[in-house]
Amino acid sequence: MRKRPFPWLGEDDYFAFPPAASASDDGVLCVGGNLSPGMLLSAYRQGVFPWFNDGEPIVWWNPDPRFVLEPAELHVSGTMRKLIKKRRFSLSLDRAFGEVIRACSASPRRGQRGTWITSDMIDAYERMHALGYAHSVEARLDGALVGGLYGLSLGSAFFGESMFSREPDASKAAFIPFVWALDEAGFTVVDSQVRTDHVASLGGKPVPRDEYLAMLERALASPTVKGDWAVAFPSFPSSRRWRELCERGVSGVSSN
């Protein structure tokens, strides 16, 4: 008997993933399905995310522990404060999502995800961007895109997928004001999924999966800021912390 293809799920459809406790020791939960909007939204709402190589079936993960950054705990070094104060990079939101995700895909990193952003993943997250769930942050230098990041947002959670830099510290210079803006807007968690030195240096920390899922449940109780974030955050990168830094000077090494 010919196996039926997995159904394509619209954004209002829901798929129940296996319980988190059934994941393997390395975090693999299940394999298969597709990258339709309903499948991806169902996954993130249950603490699940896709991560697989080109030519492989879709692998869904729910690792323990989870690596997260709480926006209010963002750590900013003195070096990064000085760089941000110089305003070397021009920052924007949702102005070049396709360019950002392709730049991330072309930037493999040792021990990090990079080449896992396949053409199917690019298509899937561009669909999510068109639906208003996936967003990008861009850093430009003399008009050229030199750094940025992208991810998906639900409730008061932002699920960071990948960053890239073509100039030293360009992605950090984009990420830090972005997290300040998220904090000011009431966001409670930035999910980095797995540990990266980059996020760890900014205050990221591992949390047990059960604790992460409780954080996620609370975050999902908040309304989702859906749509064009250039419209939702018209003053970006300006926020209280950004103004205090850029207009009043550099002081200390913490954003708090």
Same domain, 44 and 170: no
Residue 25 belongs to domain spanning: 20-63
Q: Given this model, what pLDDT does residue 107 score?
A: 80
Q: Given this model, what pLDDT does residue 194 score?
A: 87
Same domain, 56 and 72: no
Q: Given this model, what pLDDT does residue 250 score?
A: 46
Q: What residues of the chain score a pLDDT lower than 70?
A: 1-3, 108-115, 249-256
> Is position 11 within any domain?
no
**pTM metric for this prediction:** 0.93
Q: Given this model, what pLDDT does residue 247 score?
A: 82
The neighbouring-strand residues paired with 28 are 61
Give, in order, the Cα–Cα distances in Å from 155 to each of 45, 57, 80, 202, 217: 10, 29, 29, 22, 9
* DSSP H helical ranges for the chain: 37-45, 78-86, 97-105, 119-130, 170-184, 197-200, 209-220, 229-232, 240-248
Same domain, 36 and 136: no
Residue 47 is part of a domain; what is its CATH number? 3.30.70.3550
Q: Given this model, what pLDDT does residue 55 score?
A: 84
Distance CA 105, CA 179 (A): 22
Which residue, 42, 63, 84, sits at the end of a domain? 63
Same domain, 54 and 163: no
Residue-wise pLDDT for 131-143, tens only, equals: 999 999 999 999 9
Same domain, 108 and 163: yes
